Amino acid sequence: MRGYRSIRIGKDKISLLLDTNTFVKLVFLIMITLVIFIISMSLGQVKVDLFTIVSLLFGGGTELEQLVVYELRLPRIIAAMLVGMGLAVAGGILQGMIRNHLAAPDTIGVTAGAGMAVVAFLWLFSDERYSLIVSIKWLPVAAFVGASIVAFAVYFLSWKDGVTPIRLVLIGIGISALMQAGTTMFMVLGPIHLASQANIWITGSLNSVTWEDVNVLLPVTVLLLILAFISSRHVNVQALGEDIATGVGSPVQRHRFMLLMISTGLVGTAVAVAGGIGFVGLMAPHMARKLVGSSFGSLLPVSAFIGATLVMLADLMGRTLFLPSIVPAGVFTATIGAPYFIYLLMKTKTS
């Protein structure tokens, strides 16, 4: 097979086919991600030149530079990268699983469900001094539960002798509106302090990310991404349709449940830390598809780095373009994503 290289490890116990075209593009994307990562460490209200950034990585720099880079910028940049990866891969899985290129965590209401669960969690477990009475580590669990319930509800309500793409998207939009109404209700019921915080968070912001958030986000996201990449062949089979997938011997419902859990886990964790950063799960898989085609073994890792780049760029723009004001990253992803979604809708209608 031209363009592929066979790799065998451990006396042929592990073997895989490496798509050399995808490998080259993936290396290029990783380099772009690293460049944006380093530039993000450098720019902000306090500028740190690139040579000092390199020096800081080896323990150099002043105390102020170490404080700015290590304590204020690095946690949010790492979080932006992980959130972008999680949302992009979740979107890719959903698009393959339900065979609809318009599907994404935002359009079928999964993000909104996670958002409502987080606001409800903050409302339920805050005391009269607005401090949480339980550990913040339970926040991703709440987001995961909210995302899972909405994902199952949308799938169940869309079922009528099977799930059609247009029915799933329409019901998803309706459920998303319902979840947003629920979020507003919890904000109104809660204290004004919570409402103002929640408003920024719902837009999608990394302003208040700390190392504690990264410590929760990192292991969960990495584990789920590994599971997603391993499961990419199941997404390929699901993308063929239920009849063909059943015909080739795939346990369709079991794999569908597993992929749904991976996808909602990635969305729930991302939303718990960064709020409702929208359209990344829609745009990144589309861009990846144009680069490497529709095979999910290539599409998911490429989507991950495109998603990471999008969210890191949005965060960088949000904290540098309108200084001294800081704009939530979700504003920039929505500014690009909303017209892109309309373009996809029009393209789908004409096709």
* Alpha carbons 320 and 40: distance in angstroms, whole number: 10
What amino acid is encoded at 253 in this protein?
A: Q
> What is the model's pLDDT at position 136?
64
Give the pTM.
0.83
At residue 161, the 3 state secondary structure works out as coil
> What is the model's pLDDT at position 305?
92
Is cis: bond before 105, omega within 30 of 0?
no
β-bridge partners, 19 = 4
Q: How many CB atoms lie within 10 A of CB 27?
A: 10
Which stretch of DSSP H or E encloses residue 19? strand 14-19
Buried b (16+ CB within 10 A) or exposed e, 217-235: beebbeebbebbeebbebb
> What is the model's pLDDT at position 222?
92
Beta strand 14-19 with 4-9 is antiparallel
**Ranges under pLDDT 70 in the chain:** 1-4, 7, 9-17, 128-132, 135-137, 140, 161-166, 190-201, 345, 348-351
Find out whether 270 and 81 touch, Cβ atoms under 8 Å. no
> What is the model's pLDDT at position 166?
67
Distances (CA, A) of 135 to 73, 140, 245, 276, 331: 24, 11, 43, 21, 29
